[in-house]
Structure 1
């Protein structure tokens, strides 16, 4: 007989998700300042997407692996998710401490790989941790609290350089380096990230494997499903992916696209090869981590598949924003595209305020607006509303002339951000098998990562060909992709029960 999980108090919800507060400080500092750091170290605007490719690529590789491993980990008193929180937090804190001291562009780019991999190691198990610790009727509340912490952490991380400037810290760029405002913000962020994750580690106790079996029933029937699914397939199933990768590589050479697009072709071919290898091993009766991951990816529930399409378009828009907002605001609104100019630094600091605004709106919306709308109209329709608000926010960049009014644009973006962080996970959490929650959450984040890779590899080619030197047009792409995400959610709403 199954036993119901204990109901968590507000303090319990707080402790479960507080570590995300620090993780998001790290992400916010990265998102708002890495273009600034790269340009301060001498990179050209056209090369920014290639440097940013580190972030989504590490997420693509790390999250499914960490999800698979955390489902199968149990380290005594540390549990199964918390070892990954803590290890990732230590590595991310060190990367944040070293980043502003980067002596050269290659060093900063390498640290971005380390930072993003470490943040993903900490972040991915947190998604599953909510499902582990909460009853199904508390999933929405749990992800809302997590989203609120994400918003609050992002506000603090985004606004800290701007606040330091107003406290008298120098915001002037130095030769081959970053301003003191950015340097001190990264150091603070490293300390805050480690301390907040440590809080969750010390204040929560994970349910043991025996307790989880009592709550959710035995997981044996789920364990071999992925391998059986693979064994029933032909090894040639990976061939279309390999051919697609080869076609992308040929297109790069034929049409002289940006060299970063080679990465996209390589990833497609690599997945096809991985699929063929996993099928051959499954047919031979040899289960492996690769087989489980590939099999679970191929066997995703239908609801998850439909929701993945909306995630793909949603995160395309977000990554466009993170890469391009600083050069857009500095160039189009402050008339200062030169990273060494005072006007550019002023515009970059205003971007910190804008990012803090949308994250602050997200924190408030997650605890107030979204629960109200989802209770009345359902989670899927609430998410459609949020995505439309974001599309309007991006489109308004073409209507605003005074940079101060971009605050209004960020309100719509903030509502969309809150919905993107909360609604898809709330929809999924109650429908996924508990024993595979980590791997499914990791695989779902593939559809967060792949669009970022596409933006990082393809957007530079599009901009150079059609809008050279005018990054503001990327906001039109961002608005359009959120409209496509809203359209994709209509299919989710047709299948979802709420």
Structure 2
């Protein structure tokens, strides 16, 4: 019991409890790592050009944009008795993701691979979003930093396994080359093993944890009835003409894309802005008519009235995830061309470069796992979460910039140390800051909405970066790392504005 408030407190979790709460993320991140390190390679093996990659990768962030807020909203309002409210989503997402990983290497054509990427990312997001809220549900506020740090350590460990597995299989004698238009056996077997590992890890968390009931959460003073009245009152006070702002911006983007002949992917960005503008008008008009909130009204209202610390972190997320998405899309072609001298995706040298990228990704994720446990908690306790985040993002910017300093692919391992430190903080610090500042009853909803600031920059990179590279740096993907370094540095500066609760 808290001596100040007189309320009951959640039991303090030991290492075993922290392990069980977050172990499922180990499997989820194996799936993400296989996706991040190999999908550009899979697409190019099936005939995609370098210029096609951003458009093909649009599926991943677009799926997250749609899925995470909806799943967060639903999981806040789900209670299936002993099955809980978050764990049913863990199971559903894990089943679909494992199936997608099994089918991905069997994709006969590029379109099938792109569709399976969409399904895979949607499934991973179904499981992942409730895991963020699950940590806040299960832990006391003074354990949030430790909880998200352990979760980050499992994310790093899972990503190491997922990233390095094709490289290890090649050294164990599995073929790393394939006929034109086919996927190497190293990638195929990695996806199949990853699907099994993902499902088993998520099931571990499902069977070793128990969720607190709504009555227990109210006893802890962290849960209140969810109502849509506040959101609808806030929306009713807005002018529907003001809600058209995003619609107007979307129309301008579409017109500019047509007039200047920009890449067709930019139309998607404009369409999303138009859709959000129309949605805002719809829910404002419903609110003014006194109608119920519903899911759309609640999501738009909560997004409009998000806490100030969430708004401050939004800019940080925008810049930091822009840098990450640039890295995920472009590292394989950058390393292949600039460090191995290979541009043909069907060549053995290109496949060797693809395996080395897996090693690089494994290194930055391994560094992240160690940094999450050894650096983040003591540093955050000493200088605060926000300043810790700023320092780590600065290390990431230096890591990207160092791609221009090296000629030997082995030296890129040094660059990945800085990237890994930044990655550890990106996965832990914003959520540790938010978990203590958000209303517990809407933790899933706000964590899902927070994902918008992860997805929008990825969509922007996927739709705009191709046009920038084609116009100014055709055939020179190395310059994408300069963009990554610059925006990561901006993220570090933006973090200095964040005011912790």
Q: TM-score range by the shorter chain?
A: over 0.9
Q: Secondary structure at the match of 1:4?
A: coil
Q: Distance in 1 between matches of 2:381 and 2:170?
A: 42
For structure 2, list consecutive stretches of 5 or more residues without a partner in the other structure.
1-5
Q: CA deviation at 1:130?
A: 0.2
1:106 maps to what in 2?
111
Please say if residues 45 and 182 of structure 2, whose CA atoms lie closer than 8 Å, have aligned partners that are also in contact. yes
Matched, 1:469 2:475: yes
Q: Which residue of 1 aligns with 2:293?
A: 287
Contact 1:2 1:217 in 2 (8 A): no
| Residue 22 (structure 2) pairs with residue 21 (structure 1) | no
Partner of 1:96: 101
1:202-213 map, 5 Å: 202-213=207-218
Name the structure 2 match of 1:122. Answer: 127
Match of 2:454 among 419, 443, 448: 448
Per the alignment, in what secondary structure is the counterpart of residue 130 of structure 2? Answer: helix
Q: In the alignment, is residue 486 of structure 1 matched against residue 492 of structure 2?
A: yes
Distance of 1:137 and 1:273 partners within structure 2: 41
The equivalent residue for 2:420 is 414
Please point out which of 222, 247, 255 is paired with 1:250.
255
After superposition, residues 94-173 of structure 1 pair within 5 angstroms as 94-173=99-178
Structure 1 partner of 2:434: 428
Contact 1:393 1:413 (C-alpha < 8 Å) held by counterparts: yes
Map Cα deviations across residues 189-224 of structure 1 (whole Å, 9 max, x no partner): 000000000010001000011111111255237653
Alignment partner of 1:320 is 2:326: yes
Aligned equivalents of 1:217, 1:82: Cα separation in 2 = 19
Partners of 2:222 and 2:28 in 1: CA distance: 32
Partner of 1:36: 41
Q: Give secondary structure in 2 for the equivalent of 1:3.
A: coil
Residue 228 of structure 1 and its aligned partner are, at CA, apart by 1.7
Partner of 1:272: 277
Q: Secondary structure at the match of 2:183?
A: coil
**Are the aligned partners of 2:222 and 2:440 in contact in 1 as well (CA < 8 Å)?**
no
Counterpart in 1 of 2:317? 311
SS at match of 1:275: helix
SS across alignment from 2:497 = helix
Tell me if structure 1 keeps the 8 A contact 2:228–2:294.
no
**How far apart are 1:345 and its partner, in Å?**
0.5
Q: Give the conservation status (yes or no) of the 8 Å contact 2:225–2:441.
A: no
Q: How far apart are the structure 2 equivalents of 1:216 and 1:442?
A: 22
Q: Is the 8 A contact 1:5 1:134 kept in 2?
A: yes
- CA distance, structure 1, for counterparts of residue 150 and residue 45 of structure 2: 36
Task: Indicate if the aligned counterparts of 2:231 and 2:293 stay in contact, CA closer than 8 A.
Answer: no
Q: Tell me the equivalent position of 1:343.
A: 349
- 1:410-430 deviation per Cα after TM superposition (whole angstroms, max 9, x unaligned): 000000000100111111111
Query: What's the secondary structure of 1:2's corresponding residue?
Result: coil
Query: C-alpha offsets along residues 22-57 of structure 1, whole Å, 9 cap, x if unaligned?
Result: 000000000000000000000100010000000000
C-alpha displacement of 1:278: 1.0
- C-alpha contact (below 8 Å) 1:222/1:435 kept by paired residues: no
Q: Using the alignment, how far apart are the partners of 1:224 and 1:333 within structure 2? A: 58
**How far apart in 2 are the matches of 1:165 and 1:317?**
30
2:443 match: 437
Asked whether 1:86 is paired with 2:91, we answer yes
Equivalent pairs, count = 495
Give the TM-score normalised by the residue count of structure 2.
0.98
Matched with 1:403 is 409
Q: Does 2:365 align with 1:359?
A: yes
Distance in 1 separating the partners of 2:142 and 2:60:
34
The corresponding residue for 2:3 is none
* Stretches of 4+ aligned residues off by more than 4 angstroms: none
For the 8 Å contact 1:17–1:126, the answer to whether it is kept is yes
Q: Can you list the C-alpha shifts for 1:306-334, whole angstroms capped at 9, x where unaligned?
A: 11100010000000000000000001100
1:215 aligns with 2:204: no
Q: In the TM superposition, what whole-angstrom CA distance separates every residue of 1:269-298 from its partner, at most 9, and x where no partner exists? A: 110111111111122222210000000000
Of stretches 160-169 and 216-225 in structure 1, the one that deviates more from structure 2 is 216-225
Measured at CA, do residues 449 and 384 of structure 1 come closer, stay the same or move farther in structure 2, by a change above 3 Å? same
Contact 1:237 1:275 in 2 (8 A): no
Distance 2:396 2:314 in 1: 18
Q: SS at 1:216's partner residue?
A: coil
Query: Considering only aligned residues, what root-mean-square deviation do their CA atoms show, in Å?
Result: 1.0
Structure 2 CA distance, aligned partners of 1:42 and 1:197? 34
Q: Deviations over 1:367-392 (max 9, x none)?
A: 00111211111111110100000000
Q: 1:223 to 1:7 in 2, by over 3 A?
A: farther
**What is aligned with 1:496?**
500
1:176 corresponding residue in structure 2? 181
Q: Report if the CA contact (8 A) 2:167-2:356 is conserved.
A: yes
TM-score by length of 1: 0.98
CA–CA distance in 1 between the matches of 2:86 and 2:240? 34
Q: Helix, strand or coil: the match of 1:23?
A: helix
Q: CA shift at 1:174, angstroms?
A: 2.3
- 2-side partners of 1:216 and 1:232: how far apart? 30
Residue 334 of structure 1 corresponds to 340
Task: Check whether the contact 1:39–1:339 (CA below 8 A) recurs between aligned residues.
Answer: yes
Shift of 1:104: 0.3
